[in-house]
Amino acid sequence: FRSRRRNDLARLRTAYTAGDFATVQMLGHRLKGHAGSYGLDALGEIGHELERAGAQHEGASIQPLLDRMERLLADGGAGETSA
């Protein structure tokens, strides 16, 4: 799971840098669904926020979310709770 999400993180960073909000939105939606299936609330919330930011072209909101996602994946738990 984490390996795939790390790949998604790389794709999200590329899309963000390119200003490709549609891809950010799509990958955020996918992240929300995958995380929800595993009960990873914090990661799912990031997915939800990325989906929203992509849809609304809120570039300034995206980088902090990507940084948060990276920290969660590095911690190993990927956010089992939304603490």
- Helix then strand then coil, in percent of the chain rounded to 5, is 80, 0, 20
pLDDT truncated to tens, each residue of the chain (83 aa)?
878 899 999 999 999 999 999 999 999 999 999 999 999 999 999 999 999 999 999 999 999 999 999 999 998 755 554 43
Give the three-state DSSP class for 7.
helix
Residues in CB range of 81: below 8 A, 6 or more apart: 41, 42
- The pair of structure tokens assigned to 50 is 């990325």
DSSP code, position 57: T
* 78 C-beta neighbours (distance < 10 Å), count: 20
